[in-house]
Amino acid sequence: MNAKEIQKLRRKFILIATVSFFLVTSFIGTLINFAIFAVTQIQINAELERISENRHVFDSENEPRNQPDGPSGMNDFPFCAFTYDASGDEIAYFARKGSPIDKDTASEIAQAVRKLPTDHGYYAAYAFRLAHNEDGTSSLVLLDIGGILYVRRILTFATIGVGFAGMLITVILVVALSKRAVKPEIENSRRQEQFLTDVSHELKTPLAVIRSNTEMQEMTGGESEWTQSTIRQVDRMNSLIQNLVMITKSREMESRTGTEPVDVSQAVAQTAQDFVSRAEGEGKTLTQQIEPGLELTADGSKIRQLAMLLLDNAVKYCDDNGTIEIRLEPFAKRSKKGVRLIVSNDYAAGKDVDYTRFFERFYREDKSRNIDTGGYGIGLSIAESICTEQNGAIRAAWRDGRISFICELF
């Protein structure tokens, strides 16, 4: 995992932590507000019920005064009560002393409430209950719940404010601490890449000496099966070292993006043309379906390298007398426009192969073909690095005797 991948993982962690905190805070805040609402609602209903049950206390009172002794809790809210005869005329009015509204205003509110289609509910800052009595009269209780509504609003705003402040503090802490946490991993990744580069460089000198000594031996004693085998293995080691260095450089450049538009169609077509004769020389057929004029902002050399790696892999592992196909077409995903590069070949033995491991370095499904094909099991790993650098992805699929490598680039 290189520095870019570690930073990408860090950003995902920050996002997950932030979303998790938001969801937990929202749940707790909603639960608290719901609990307060339920408790106050029970209190309001109970108060309306107590006042309605003791309506006879107010039937003969028409002036505000101290409320007479009644059931516990009746003194918690300011309220006023009206009694109406069968024709709807007001016959009694009572208001708790200290009520915030006068009788005229209360009467207007009462008339508006009586026009509502329900006998209980809310009107402005009042809870009301209209009861029809057995003697033909009706009683209306208006309960001033402005204080409760104010507390509810304050609690809601406080919950939102505390939640927002908590989320902001969480994000700041997670960003700071995660940066500190991944710093050693980024340094380890840099050291690993540097180590691979240094080792590759150091291996070149002894290999050059071995090849020179072997060639000198051939000049003095003539060629033999053993000297030729040694030279071939030295060349293979040099090629392997070159590929390892290529992987390291490719991963070091993943954080860079291309700044020039590249004719992907032309780059892929030119690369494919170079493999036509090679495929024919091995008794295989290479076909092309490349849509012209497709462009990307990318590194042209990386696009050519990607096509070369996939075609090289296809030629090596295509069945005898088989067909290799390279296809390039436009592609779009989530409003992002790109291209899709598909390289496929006949591969009858691929039915039960684990294709998810094809992009692991040095992985080989068919161990017996290592020497014959001349590969090292790292070409597809390099191809994956190129696709990642181009904000894309690569995957392998097998169907009806053919294996396909699909690259989506943006």
Residue 375: predicted pLDDT? 47
Spatial CB neighbours of 181, under 8 Å, sequence gap ≥ 6: none
Task: Tell me which fold the domain 257-409 belongs to.
Answer: Heat Shock Protein 90 (3.30.565)
CATH architecture, domain 54-144: 2-Layer Sandwich (3.30)
Give the separation between CA 258 and CA 296, rounded to whole angstroms. 9
Q: Cβ(142)–Cβ(113) under 8 Å?
A: yes
Beta strands in 124-257 (DSSP E): 126-132, 138-144
Q: What is the spatial distance between Cα 19 and Cα 25, in angstroms, rounded to a whole number? A: 10
pLDDT at 74: 41
Which residue ranges of the chain lie beneath pLDDT 70? 1-2, 55-76, 97-100, 243, 246-259, 361-377
The per-residue pLDDT for 259 is 59
Cα–Cα distance for residue pair 164/281, rounded to 1 Å: 68
CA 33, distance to chain mean position in Å, is 30
3-state SS, residue 220: helix
Which uninterrupted H or E stretch holds 11? helix 3-53
- Bridge-partner residues for 328, per DSSP? 290, 341
Domain edges within the chain: 54-144, 257-409
Contacts of 397 (CB under 8 A, 6+ apart): 355, 403, 404, 406
